[in-house]
Structure 1
Amino acid sequence: MGKMLSKIFGNKEMRILMLGLDAAGKTTILYKLKLGQSVTTIPTIGFNVETVTYKNVKFNVWDVGGQDKIRPLWRHYYTGTQGLIFVVDCADRDRIDEARQELHRIINDREMRDAIILIFANKQDLPDAMKPHEIQEKLGLTRIRDRNWILSSPVGFSLCEDGQHEFCRLFRIESRGYNEILSWFKLEEFHHMSFIDKVFTLFHGTSAVEELGRKLLILHLKKNEILSVYFTNIKQFMY
């Protein structure tokens, strides 16, 4: 796995597939990544594809329609995918089970077994929207034992992985252990990142942030404690 990820991040391009039920907000997210602003969209019948350059890496992002009649075609887009963004409408409680079924169907496909998984909890600002911890439970994320996944929302994220060192390799910081990724958790720094910086930092990693707050964050994670204010939860699940 580590060698595979090193190979991925040694390249200058990365293929990301964005999936989710219809009306989850996938196309809005795609063009927010591309243009840095929200745009008016219409339901996607086929697909949209855009190349987004982040620093020196080109991310080819495929946004595929989510209507139930289109979903059987999703698998035709799996080959070569290195990162999956699965978008969930947090206000759509009636279809959260349907979203769970589709997510697990995707990640259990052999073509997607090496893809990094980012679940984006969208529409958190709507009344009665599910909180990230509810999304985590209802999507059955804690039952994913052999994959690296990240749950992200406009206000925070939680993570699960099979050990801290594997997570460090995921973000290309194997040589420095997990201190660097902890420094990325510095609350003020991450909170003030732009939307595109937050999303692509999850996939591509980041340079070391200065020492402020590092020792405290290390202590929190070693104690398996919750970091509050801007983050939902940072917790390690081992198997």
Structure 2
Amino acid sequence: SSEITLLTVGLDGAGKSTILRCLQGGIIEGVSTTVGFNNFSLQLYGRKIITYDVGGGPRIRGIWKNYYHDVHGIIYVVDASDHNKLEENLEVLEEVVKHDKSKGKPILVLANKQDIPNAIDKERLVKQLQLHSL
């Protein structure tokens, strides 16, 4: 099939919906926090890509695992400007990576908000999130 299904997750406020709306070519101002679930669809290189955008609040993270089995890959979005959430990002990302139903699936870690002054640089982010050892 030429259809690709992805799951986009990350902590609340990371910018998941904004990124997806931007990829669709939509307006990115006034995007509100996702409380539950959004579905984005776009065409890229002749393929239809469907992305499940699930909220990142602590209460909703428990449902992420319900989507792992049904997707081709996972996009984990990190707010690179939020130094205070690095440890929480590490814990949550580890849960995603180590879950039985996500094993063997490609996982893209996307560092968002790098344009904000004092955002965490790539090297520190890779080290803090232990990306080489996950």
Bin for the TM-score computed over the shorter chain: over 0.9
Other-structure match for 1:130: 120
Other-structure match for 2:82: 92
The number of equivalent residue pairs is 134
Deviation at 1:39, TM superposition (A): 3.4
Other-structure match for 1:80: 70
Gaps of 5+ in 1: 1-10, 145-239
**SS at the partner of 1:35?**
coil
Question: Aligned equivalents of 1:50 and 1:82: distance in 2?
Answer: 15
Question: Aligned equivalents of 2:93 and 2:53: distance in 1?
Answer: 15
Aligned pairs (5 A) from 1:5-20: 11-20=1-10
Asked which structure has the greater CA Rg, the reply is 1
Higher-RCO chain (CA-CA 8 Å, sequence separation at least 6): 2
What percentage of aligned pairs have identical amino acids?
Answer: 34
Aligned pairs (5 A) from 1:35-114: 35=25, 37-114=27-104
Question: Aligned equivalents of 2:64 and 2:113: distance in 1?
Answer: 23
Instruction: Show structure 1 runs of 4+ deviating over 3 A.
Output: none
Q: TM-score, normalised by structure 1?
A: 0.54
Deviation at 1:114, TM superposition (A): 2.2
In proportion to residue count, which structure has more strand? Answer: 2
CA RMSD after TM alignment:
1.2
Which residue identity is paired with 2:121?
K
Other-structure match for 2:19: 29
Which residue identity is paired with 1:60?
I
